[in-house]
Amino acid sequence: MSRISARLAECRESGRLALIPYITAGYPDAETTVELAIALAGAGADLLELGIPFSDPLADGVTIQRASFAALGAGVTPRTCLEVARRIRARCDVPLLFMGYYNPFLRYGLDAFADDSAGAGVDGLIVPDLPPEEAGELRGCLANRGLDLIHLLAPTSTDERIGLVARSATGFVYCASLAGVTGARSDLSAGIPAFLGRVRRQTDLPLCVGFGISRPEHVSALVGVADGAIVGSALVALIERLAPSARVAGAASYLAELRRAADGELA
């Protein structure tokens, strides 16, 4: 069992909604990324998602695009991200996921990137522009090192598509709350329970919901419905607008509030 599977199994057995914050590796800089990750783990994160900056992040909205472009402009590369992951792993045992696009992994070399990711303490990859029917080579490289490959589904996914992902994914299934790009929203779709019900009919893997999760009430609404909540754009936007000296504490405080909502401690 991978570290991701083990942590999500623990959450499921205890009735705990897993919280999975996303931050962009190298934004606003590598040192701050490490400190943010450690603070988020301490504030209640069950897994940590590290975005690898890319010039054409087709699944991401403007907030994460800005963070990615800033990181790229500062010279952040996949090797930088691996070093960031290694430094985080040295200080905490929370499962780590890379979220990135296929081209940088292919250019790096799939075997080499799988080797170096495992060596850095990374537990899995999310590759939103790699469809499962074309993912066999990367899946094999990761599986040989005990790493998970996480696939995405959207509410528009057909039952056939859901079945393909159910047969291919490991770790968990990333269920986008809407058809579109990442970004904070004011309300969650009322169709999420029905969408997750369709996925659950074809897999026992944990289902984690992302895209648009930004408020405590969003997290509360997923308790008993999903296995995990992924929080990205709202957290990156908070980091962007806070003064440098307040970023780490502010991000931890935000996640702690979401943790209280996930644990049913908010009125």
Q: How many CB atoms lie within 10 A of CB 121?
A: 18
For the residues 160-170, what does the mean pLDDT come to? 94
- The amino acid present at 215, given as its one-letter code, is R
- Res 257 pLDDT > 80: yes
CATH code of the domain covering residue 101: 3.20.20.70
pLDDT of residue 191: 85
Q: What is the pLDDT of residues 76-100, one digit of tens each?
A: 999 999 999 999 999 999 999 999 9
227 is a domain residue:
yes
pLDDT of residue 185: 47
In the set 46, 60, 123, 148, the catalytic residue is 60
- Res 216 pLDDT > 50: yes
For the residues 47-69, what does the mean pLDDT come to? 88
Return the CA Rg of the chain: 17
149 is a domain residue:
yes
106 is a domain residue:
yes
> Based on the structure, what is the number of domains in the chain?
1
Count Cα atoms within 13 angstroms, Cβ side, for 89: 20
CA distance 140 to 152: 18
Tell me the percentage of the chain whose pLDDT exceeds 90.
86
Of 147, 148, 26, the residue nearest 84 (C-alpha): 26
State phi, psi for 207 to the nearest 5 degrees.
Answer: -115, 120
34 is a domain residue:
yes
Tell me the percentage of the chain whose pLDDT exceeds 70.
95
Burial of 60-92, coded b for 16+ CB within 10 Å and e otherwise, reads bbebbbbbbbbbeeeebbbebbbbbbbbbbeeb
Q: What is the DSSP letter of 52?
A: P
pLDDT of residue 56: 80
CA distance 115 to 236: 29
pLDDT of residue 143: 96
**Computed from CA positions of residues 239, 240, 246, 250, in that sequence, does the dihedral angle turn out positive or negative?**
negative
- Res 184 pLDDT > 50: no
Which one is predicted more confidently, 61 or 228? 228
pLDDT of residue 59: 67
Which residue is it, tokens 């606003």?
28
Q: What is the pLDDT of residues 26-46, one digit of tens each?
A: 999 999 999 999 999 999 999
Whether 148 sits among the annotated catalytic residues: the reply is: no
CA distances 231 to 87, 105, 118, 208, 255, Å, are 22, 24, 24, 10, 9
pLDDT of residue 181: 45
How many helices (H) and strands (E) the chain has is answered by 12, 8
267 is a domain residue:
no
pTM: 0.93
Q: The tokens of 221 are what?
A: 């609404």
CA distance 57 to 116: 23
Contact yes or no for 94/48 (Cβ under 8 A): yes
Of 258, 253, 249, 202, the residue nearest 230 (C-alpha): 258
What is the H or E stretch that residue 50 is in?
A: strand 48-51
CA 79 to chain centre: 19
In the set 49, 116, 123, 227, the catalytic residue is 49
What's the domain range around 249?
Answer: 3-261
pLDDT of residue 214: 87
Count Cα atoms within 13 angstroms, Cβ side, for 13: 6
- Res 137 pLDDT > 60: yes
CA distance 229 to 211: 9
18 is a domain residue:
yes
Q: Which residues does residue 23 pair with via DSSP β-bridges, in sequence order?
A: 50
Q: What DSSP line would sit under 168-203, residue for residue?
A: H--S-EEEESSSS-----SS--TTHHHHHHHHHTT-
16 is a domain residue:
yes
- Res 259 pLDDT > 60: yes
Whether 159 sits among the annotated catalytic residues: the reply is: no
117 is a domain residue:
yes
